[in-house]
Structure formats: structure tokens, C-alpha cells
Structure 1
């Protein structure tokens, strides 16, 4: 059982069960470890069955009983046929737990038995790294946002970036609004103001030199040195009129700038309203033009129809003066047309029959080709499906290979595979030897039974013959009569002796069975389970008394 337990423990560790290195046998499993192992296996076998099942025992006894019953029901749902209940998990014994774990390990999916329900390939390592990072973050104590200095610094950077994006957006809107339009009149002043405000936002003068950032007045002052003399004088005069006096304070300057900004914003809003109104007028004009074009097309079609009708009426009017001759001509034309139609019908009948036969032949050939093409299409679809399945299987095997390669790299290299192989071969050899010995013992037993049956039959026949011969002589001789009595007594004693030997063998077999039962009962840990049951009973009584006290207090 040691090898079986090692395989079980290895498989349970693969599905995520936390088993200490000291645990080497199922006999060392505690109730907590048994519950965790069963829940982990159920989550891999059928996640829908294990929904709501905790892999750790709750502190309360009533909750433990409910969890044990839920686990027993879940194991029965996945196909376990043995006897199982809450006592299997709370008051376990070694044989029952071993059989249950063997069943669950055999039910694990083969493709994911090495990695349970986790994704394959490098994603396993990534998921473990993510879990480790989350665990590390959870171990850090929580701090309010105001006390997190790095995040606070990031929030200052975010505000700066947001302010820059907002300023750039306003600059683009002002640049669009500052462009002159042919259909706007009387907006020269607002356009110039918007241009000046755009220059104040962008920090670039109307010349082609890029200037450093500054106020509108510094740009105006620097702009005077790059213009022509007359324009420079005008700009200097405007700057002089716009510059604040030495008696004005910074607050007055800010107020002046805010007033100018508000006026520009109002003008911008007015321009936006005007643009929306013009856009609406354009839409209305487009709709009306479309309607007019539709009406023109309809009238052109009606005019063409009327022209055709007028031409027909004119031709009819031209034929009215010589109506009789025209009727005779029309009748001759109709007769000739009818004869031509009959002739054409006869000719068509001659050509129609072979054409119909050819059509039928081609139709049958087309249907055969369609059937053949549909069959080939079905085969192609089947091949595509096989290719897709093969590709999916190849991907799964590739991911499994990567995962196994990753696990192989993580395993300790001091363990030699040949040692495990030799150990497995030794186990297989021992099993073969045991089978051979069992077969030899069974054959020896059969031979002995045959020999015993033969000797018993021979003894019975010998006694019958001897009894008959001695009985004949006993009628004549007294000494022979005594010999017959001794023979009968000897036969009876031998029979009793044989029966005693058989009874002794039966008793020895019963003794061996009882010893095995004793070992089985010792493995069930009956005494420890009884002690545990008593402790749980006391805990339940305490819980009940506590609940009753709470009810009385309430």
C-alpha cells in the first residue's frame, strides 16, 4: 500500500492539495486534509457539483456535519458506488478513504491530470506569478489615498496632462474659428481678436520665428521688431494703448484679461450659433434640391410617354383618308404574318424535340454533377473538420508539452528517472511473482484435494470390503468376532480423527479471518473515532446550550 499511497499523494498535490512532505501514507491524513483533497478533486472532475463547497472544515459542528453530507452527495453524483456519509470525512478510516481517493484520482481528466483545472503552457507560470503578486499586495497594510505619495504624485501629473490637453483643444477650436470665411461679413474684429487670442495661447507671432511663451503684451512688443516700419509703428501704438500704466496693479491687469477673454468667448459662441444656423439652412436647401430633381425626373418620364402616344395618334390620323386600301393592306400583312407564324411554329417544333432531349440530358448530367459535387463538398467539410480537430489536438498536446517541460525544469534534477523505472519494474516483477505463487498454491491445493478425495474413496471401499469379509468369518469364529468389533471401533475413531483435523483447519481459517478483521478494525481507528465522536457530541451540546441561552435572552 505504500506505493499506492505515494501515487495518491502525488496526484492530490498535482490538483492543488496542500500536503506536507512528512505525510507519506493515507493513514496520516486528518479530517481537514481529507476534506481539502476531496473538494480539490471534485472541482477538477465536475465544477458544477462542487459549487459552494469549501475545502476547509468550518469551526461549528453543525456546519461540519452539513459539509460532510454535501461532500458525500457530491461524490455519489460523480459516480461513487461505495458506502459514504458524513462519517467518512469526520470519523474516517484508512480503507474507506483510500478507496474514495483512488476513485476520485481515476476520475480526473487524463489531459489535465498533471495540471488539474489550470490553463496549460506558460499561462500556468503566469497565473502563479499573478497569484504571488496578489498575495504580496494583500500582505501590505491598507492606506488611505491621501497618504499614498506615489499615487498622489501621479494624480498631479494627470492634472498637468489634462490641463495641457484642454489648452491644446481650446487652441485648435480658436484656430478654426479664427479662419476667415467668404460668407461672413462684419466679423473682422472678432476674427482679429480670435487671432490675437490664438497667438497668446500658442505663443507664436504672425512672423515665422518661434517665440518663447509670454503674455499677449510681450508678444506684441517682440512682434514690433519683425514687421515693416509702418506696421511696426501701428503695432507699437496699439501695444502702448493696450499696455497697462505704471499705476495699474496686477489685479487690474488680470481683470482686463478676464474681461477680454469673456468677450472673446461670447463672440465665439455667437459664431458657433451662426455656423449652426447656416448648417441648418444648407441641409434644408439640400433636401429641397433633391425634391426638385425628383420632380424633374418624373416629369421627363411622363413627357416621353406622352410623346410616344402623340406619335401613334399622328400615324393613325395619316392613315384615315385612304382607310379601305389601308385596311386591305393591313389584312394582307396580318395574313402574311399568321402564315409566317405557322411556318415558324412548324420549324420550331422540329428544333424543339432534340433541344428538349438535350436539355433533359444536360439536366440529368447537371444533377449528377451536383450530387457528386455535394458529396465531394461533404468529404471536404469532413476533412476540414478532421484538420481542425487535429489542429486543436496538436495545440493541446503542444500546450501540454510546454507545461510538462516547465514542470520538468522546475523539478529537482537530483532524482534519476531510471530509479523510478527500476522501482516500477521491481513492483511489476513482484506482482508477477506473487501471481505465480498464488497460481502454484491454488494448483497444489487442487492436487491435494484430489488426492484427499481419492484416499477417502479408497478408504471407504477398503473398509466396505474388509467389513464384508470379516463379518462372514465372525459368524463362525469368536475371535474373528472380536476383531470385527475392533475394526468397527478403529474405523469410527479414524473418522472422528479426520473430522477433528477438518474442524481444526476450519478453525484455523476462521482464526486467520478474525485476525484480518482485527487488523482492518485497527486500521479504522475505531477507538480514536469514538473519542472524537464524544468530543464532537460535547461540542454540539455546548453549541445547543449557547443557542438556547441566546434564545432565552432574546
Structure 2
């Protein structure tokens, strides 16, 4: 059924559960790795689990728990104390530990203190299955001193790793030895220079050569070794966050722009370059407007000119072809870096004397600025007053100008009318002809516009329909692209999960014993199947015999009833005339009644026999549970608890 080997200290407890029998042997390790049995630990008369006492059950369970989970088993004692309250606490702790391991059955303190054979067998089988499996090579080797020492070391390390970290002021004796404050270092990161992937084509050969020959190692770049781990973690975290930010930006903005990855990068680089140029130009204009020293303005101008040395002409407006060419063929970041370096080289380098001269010039200019600011404040006040006067005058001038324009228009119309008065009839005819011609021309233009408008409306509707189709198709492509991306991510996650599952199953397969032959299992399974078939055939045969017997009984019962009815009628007819026949009729009725009672008695006897068998099985089951012995133990424990309570009360009264 199950087999397990438990080790604790210098002893090993081996339990073998087979066909209801359990044998326990305690092995003590002597010098040379030889295991010698200690017969007085487990009596030789114990041949089955039914003979296990409470002390042996508790010891076996505690040693199993220590091997399965050392951190859990170290808090439990395998020796039962004499006090009943302490025994109850140990039983409750063992039950809780078994439940934490996932024991499916019901377990409590009564399982250990008032045990029954089925419960103990199921619990020991569960614990034996939870024991760590040894490799096939080490399963038959004796547990010597080195093996026990390695197990103790592994258990100690596992226990220390399970403990949480605590500050130095909160540590007790054991934690002070395992968690020393001298190993703590401040998390301080510094920039590192690391080589990139040399397979990239965009990296110059000089830089690759520098990486291979002259780039120092990571530990040599930092002045303090404790900051190496912090620096590497910080660098990897920054790279990972940059990649995640780029993926988020590409999903949100890049896909919505409907550009390829290279085009989106080039457009972003172009926007950044334009922003830098605009900032430099604004700084130059501010310096020029504030009348600051010409050297600073000249420096910014030189930097801006150096920044535009190679691509200054491209920033001007041009044709659509030039803009497309400028957008397509953007310079890489190395060109941008070279521009910045060239701008830095063009900037003048001032020495100490120039700095003193500039300082004097700045002080004199500051004095001039102060005086000018005072004059500006005085002039600003007078300017405000003049602005109010000017606004009033401008309002009056605007009103007069509007009235003059209106009067000039009236005069112009009247002058034209006066000129037309001498030849009024001819002028009216000419005016009427002009009006008619204008009306005719307007009608022609309206007709032409209607025909032209209808054609333009048709073209507009067609173009709008085509545009809508293109937008719908583009949206569908975008949706398909996003769905495909999500499917790719889901497939990648599923592949990772399946790979982890494959590794787990592979490790479990490798941990299984290899010396067991598959043919033996197959033969055993075939034998079990054949036995099941035989049992099924026998059960079917018994059921068929039972059915035939029941059918025969029913036929005979019916035949007897029919025979009795016919006989009763015949005898009853003759019983009215003849006295002996009347007596025979009475005997017939009594015989029928006695036969019915006999049949009922036989049926009741069968029912009673079945109940007896059921009761015997229940008695055997209850006997295995050791109910009487457990009741006696409970009574004894109850008396012991009463005595302990009385002693405690006496101590309390004395105190």
C-alpha cells in the first residue's frame, strides 16, 4: 500500500503498510554507517496497525511531519506528556498540521488519543505518500553520517529561508546568527557602460573594437563592489521600462497613425529635432530683445548654425517631393550626435581674462539697465495717460470718418443722377437694356451652374463613398492587426504555460522509479481485470439463479392458491351433505393456514438471518474502532482531568 522512510537526528523510522499490517523498526546509526535495530523502541509483538498504541501513533505521525515539512515538524514533540491538557493540545496541533498538508478525511485530537484502525491506516498511508521520494540509486543505500548531515544542513537552510527578515533591533538569538547586519549595504546605483549586441549593423566598427579591447568590466567601472548589483538592477529596470513604454506608445499612437515602425520613428525624431531648433531660436530672440551681451547670442546662433549644417536647407519649405524625400531619408541618431559635438566645438572657449572683462561689462550694463528701468517706469505712467487720450481721440475720428464716407456716397449717387438728367429717355432705354442683358446672362449662368453642380455633386458623393470604404477597410485592418497582436500574445503565453507544464511533467517523470517493469504492472492489471470478469460472471449467474428460483416460487405459490380454491369449492359443496366431509373441510382450512404461517415463518427467518449478518458486520466494524477501549480511555482521562483540576484549585486556594 505505501512505504516511507523517516529520518530525525540519528534515528530512522521505517513504516511499511501492506495488507493491513504495519511493522515499525527504529534504526540507530553507529560508526561506519551501519544501521542496528533497536527492538525495545517498537515491541516485536506489534504486527499490525490495530496493535499501535497512542504513543507509537503520535511518534510516527510527528516524524513523518518532520520529514515532509521540517519547519512545521520542529514545533511538535513526538513524546506525549503526562498531563491530559497537554495531550489534548498536542493532538489538536497534529490534526491541524495534517489538515494543512491537505488530508481529505476528518481528523482531530480523538484520532490520535482514541484511535481506530481505519482512520490510522488512512492517515499513515496519506503521510507515506507525502514523503519525499529518494532517487533509485540512493533508495537502497544506508543512511550514514554524511547523508544525515546533508539532510540536517538542507533542513536548516530551508528553515532559515522560510523565516522573514527582521531589523537588527527585533532579532532574537537565532536570527542574529543567520541575519547579520554586516552584510547589509545601501542600495546605490551608478551609470554603467555596457556593450550592445555586436551583430547589429548600425554599430560602427570602432565602437565594437572599443568594446572588445578597451571597455573595462562592470566590477572595474564602479568604485565600490556593493553597488554592482544595484547598478545592474537599475540598468535592467530602466531598459525594461523603456521597452514597455515604447510598446504602450506604439499600441496607442503608432498603430493609430497608420505608419510603419520605421516611418513612425523617423517622424518622432523629426518632431524632436524641430522642437530643439525652435527652442534655440526662441532663446536667441530673447537674448536679442533683452539686449544681453552679444557673446551669448552669438553662441546660441553658432550652435543653431552648427545644428543646421547638414540639414538646414531641408528645413525650408519646398515642393511635395522635397518634403517626402526629407521625411523618408532622415538621419540617424549618430548624425544628430555629431551635429551636437560640432556645435560644441564651434562655441568659443573663454579664458580667465575674458571672464573678468565680461564681469566688468556685465556690472556696467547692469547699472545702465537700472537707470533705464527707472526712466521706463516714469515714461510708462505718462504713456498710460496719453493712451487714454489717444483712445478717446481715435473714437471721435472713427465716428467722423464713417459720417464722411456716408455723405461722400450720397454725393456720388446724386452727382451721377444729375449727369444723366439731360438725356433721360435714352439713358432709361440703355439702362433697361443693360438690366435685361444682365438678367439673361444670370439665367444662363444659373442653368450652367445647375448642370455643373449636379455633376460635381455626383463626383463628391462617389469620392465620399470611396473614402468611406477606404476608412472602413483601414479600420478593419487596424482591428485585425490588434486582434492578431492579441492572439500572438495569447499564443506566446499559452506556449510558455505549456512549456512550464512540460518541464514539470518531465521532472515528475524523471523522479519516478525506473527499476519497476511495465510488464509486471500490465500483468497485474490483466489479472485484476480477469478476476473482475469472473466475479461478474458469478454474480450474473447468482442473479439468474435467484430470478429463476423466485419465478418458481411464484409459480408454486400461484398453483397452491389455485389448487386450494378448487379444493375448497369441491369440499365445501360436499360438506353441506356429509359430516365427515365437513370435518375434512375444517382440516383443509387448518392445513392451509398452517402452511401460510410456515411460509411466513421461513421468510421471517431469512430476514432475521440477513439482519444478523449485517449486525455481525457492524460489530466487526465497531470492534476495529476499539470503541470499548476508547470509552475506557475517555473515562480514565476524565478522571485524570478531574484530579488535575482539583490539584489546580487546591494550589489556587493555597496561593
TM-score normalized by the length of structure 2 = 0.41
Higher helix share: 1
Higher strand share: 2
TM-score normalized by the length of structure 1 = 0.47
Structure with bigger RCO (C-alpha 8 Å, 6+ apart): 1
